[in-house]
Amino acid sequence: MPAPRLNYQHLLYFWTVVRTGSIARACEELHLSAPAVSAQLKTLESRLGQQLLVKSGRTLTATDVGKLVFGYANEIFDLGQDLLQALEQRPTHRPLRFTVGIHDVLPKEVVQRLLEPALQIGQPVRLTCREGSLDRLVADLTLHESDLVISDAPFTPALNFRVYSHHLGSTAVCWMARAKVAAKLRRGFPQSLNGAPLLLPTLDTAIRHTLNQWMDGHQVHPSVAAEFEDYALLRAFARAGYGVAPVPVVLEEQFRQHYGLLRVGLADAVRNEFYAISVERKVKHPAVAAIIESARQLFDTTSR
């Protein structure tokens, strides 16, 4: 008797249900009705002779066999995406499409420097940048709607997300403010920050966590004037004189010249980290490779 043939469309439906956690979300992604997806899942289970999914509360989770099938499905669809990328990256008259998700808490000035090498790889590149939360950006990455995510923290792999974090580098962080405020707070730093208005990233960011540890370690109790998800808005409020802002040292000179901010003091031991998150363990995309290689030089020569 010949071995049963695998229907890859059915496998795609199963893979999508496990990755999204429910048939409803899978239907939204696949643009199919719930009865259609359910029927195809039953067909796949019948073809394989194994139960692949069980209900867990309001969600569906993979059985042990389902997890095994899901792992193979990841490999299959990753290989398919590699094929598409290989075809897309062949030299043609059309520019290489390169879509990057940017964690909105990151300083845009650093992101610009990180991305510039992607535009200098010796072939035309059409760059598209999208901002958002890390979870949303990584979800788009796994759907192959983007090629790379740049973040201030690595992404912890889970069953639903198979991605790899590549450390780009880090920079020290200093506190900066308008000239008069900086001159006043520089005396007695860091205790001078007690009661001072601070402009900070939101609590759900990696850099805020390390800044809070630094303040606790120095017994600094400032007044949090405002919190921001978008670093560009944080910078704008600092420029307008509404408080003291944490600035990556790699940007200190730029903030001094263009925004009129001066250093109050260094947040010793605090590092602003930068990561490139991709679906590739071994990077093959030429634009991603250029970013990773150039980042080492950027942070090696400018971080202090």
| Per-domain boundaries in the chain | 8-86, 92-169+275-294, 170-273
**165 phi and psi, to 5 degrees?**
-100, 125
Q: What six digits make up the tokens of 142?
A: 């796994």
pLDDT at 302: 46
- The pLDDT value given to residue 89: 60
Same topology, domains 92-169+275-294 and 170-273? Answer is: yes
- 53 alpha carbon, distance to own chain's centre: 30
pLDDT by residue, tens only, the chain of 304 residues: 455 678 888 889 988 888 888 888 888 888 888 888 888 889 988 888 889 988 877 777 889 998 898 888 888 887 777 777 666 665 555 788 899 999 988 999 999 999 999 999 988 899 999 998 888 898 888 888 899 999 998 887 654 567 889 999 999 999 999 999 999 999 999 999 999 999 999 998 889 999 999 999 999 999 999 999 889 899 999 999 999 999 999 999 999 999 999 999 999 999 999 999 998 878 888 899 999 988 888 886 444 4
Predicted pLDDT at 291: 93
Half-sphere exposure of 259 (CA within 13 A, CB side): 24
Give 137's Cβ-side CA count (13 Å radius).
25
d(Cα 83, Cα 303) in Å, to the nearest integer? 38
CATH number for the domain formed by residue range(s) 170-273 = 3.40.190.290
Residue 26 near residue 17 (C-beta atoms within 8 A): yes
- The single residue listed with the structure tokens 């630094």 is 214
* Radius of gyration from C-alpha coordinates of the chain: 24
- Token couple for 247: 């600035």
CATH fold group of domain 92-169+275-294 = D-Maltodextrin-Binding Protein; domain 2 (3.40.190)
Do residues 165 and 275 make contact, with C-beta atoms less than 8 angstroms apart? Answer: yes
Q: What is the pTM of this model?
A: 0.66
Q: Please give the Cα distance from 185 to 302 (Å, whole number).
A: 25
Cβ-count burial of 234 within 10 angstroms (0-12 exposed, 13-18 middle, 19+ buried)? Answer: buried
Question: Are 107 and 235 contacting, i.e. CB atoms less than 8 angstroms apart?
Answer: yes
Q: 8-86 belongs to which CATH class?
A: mainly alpha
